[in-house]
Every structure is written in structure tokens, then in C-alpha cells.
Amino acid sequence: MTIFRKPLRVHFSPDKSLHESLRNILGFYPDNIALYKSAFRHSSAATLIKDGIKDSNERLEFLGDSVIGTVVADYLFKKFPFKDEGFLTKMRSKMVSRNQHNNIALKLGLNKLIDANKDRNSHPSSINGDAYEALIGAIYLDKGFDFAKNFMLTRIINVHIDMNEVETKEVDFKSKFIEWVQKEKKEFRFDIVNDGNAAADKQFLLNLIVDDKVIGTAQHFSKKRAEQLCAEHACAELGI
């Protein structure tokens, strides 16, 4: 059995309680506790630093999202050596979805560590998943990529993600896409190129437009299904 010795810095740290909580959740003591405090600081509890920038977890969230995407892509590439790019893209999308990240955060108990204002109802539903992404960013900066990768494989993917469920579960790409455009404050619309009556094959042909640029095209006998396919193409194109 591995014995974790408590570093001296933890004994005398004013953040001893957070050190211990993270040790219980993550399986290790952080080196740079300031990174993890930032990872759990929602923008509603952040203070202004300079030029409109706050000391919130948003920068770490950005970094962690990239680390997670890289680790998941590497994991899938090695786990499914005979699957094509389309399959791998769908699996990655499911594994890094906002809903998946929110669920992982709750399973880890990160919601208990988030520093936010008291009006929780005013916060977006992604607050927990955002904290999870920021946490991975903090681990990467604190311990390095190999450590962060091993943490994700052994403590997240192998424990909290059911790969059989992920493989068989259908994703609502339209909702996923709409969540992204709302977060990014972008305009979008579905343009009908051909409707079921005008088209010779009776299929709807749709374009998905974001900021006046076509980023997804699909056709199907069902308009709703065509919208889902458009959104799926858009998610792959935008790396959502």
C-alpha cells in the first residue's frame, strides 16, 4: 500500500483545509495551492486584476479544456485502433461534453469547493464542469502533462466514465451546439436549401450558418434529423 507523507508546507499552510480536501479528492497533495484556489474561483467571486481581466478560473478552464481534449484523443486513438476518424470524433465529443464534465465534477465533489457568490441560481449550469476543466489546467501547470494525463486515465476515465455507455449513447448535437453559440455570443440559423417538397428525393437539405458562414450541411427525410446532422458537422468543425 502506498503511504502518502504530508509535506511540511501543508502543516504550516493557511490553506491546510483545502490541501487536505484536494488530497482526498485527487489522491495527491498540490505543490502550488494558488493554482487550485484559482481553479475553483468562479467569475462571480473574482476581483478585477487589470484591463477588465479578473482572477477567475476562466483562463485555467481554457487550458484544461485543451489538455482534456488531447488526453481523450490519445486514449481513443489507442483504444480503438481499427475505428475511423468519424467514430473517434463522435466518441471524443461524448467524452468531453459539457454534461459529462458536469457529472464528473459532481462525482468528485468539486461543487463543494467552488468559490462563487451566494446566489447559486444565477450561475450557469456549467459552473461545475467549468471548475473541472480549470482543475485539470491547474494540475497540468502544477505537475506537468504526463502527471495530468495519468491522473485523467486512472482517476477519471477508468473510474467515472463507462465506455460501453459512451459508445452506445446518442448525443443531442443540436443542444450541444446551441449551448456553445450562446456561450460564445454568436448568431446562428438553419437555412433550408431544399425542403421535402421541392427536392427530387423528398429530403430536406439544410445549411447551418454561424456569423454568416456555412459550417455544417446535411440532408435527411426529417427536418429535425437534418438539423441534428448539421449540428454534428458543426461540432466537429468547431471542435466542440
Q: Please list the active-site residues.
A: 65, 133
Pairing outcome for strands 48-50 and 188-194:
unpaired
Phi and psi torsions of 208, nearest 5°: -105, 120
- The kind and range of the H/E element at 126 are none
103 with 156: CB under 8 angstroms?
no
Give the integer Cα–Cα distance in Å for 74 and 188.
Answer: 32
- The kind and range of the H/E element at 190 are strand 188-194
Block residue for cell numbers 461543487: 111
Axis crossing angle, helix 85-95 with helix 58-79, rounded to the nearest 10: 140
Coil, strand or helix at 176: helix
123 with 116: CB under 8 angstroms?
yes
107 with 160: CB under 8 angstroms?
yes
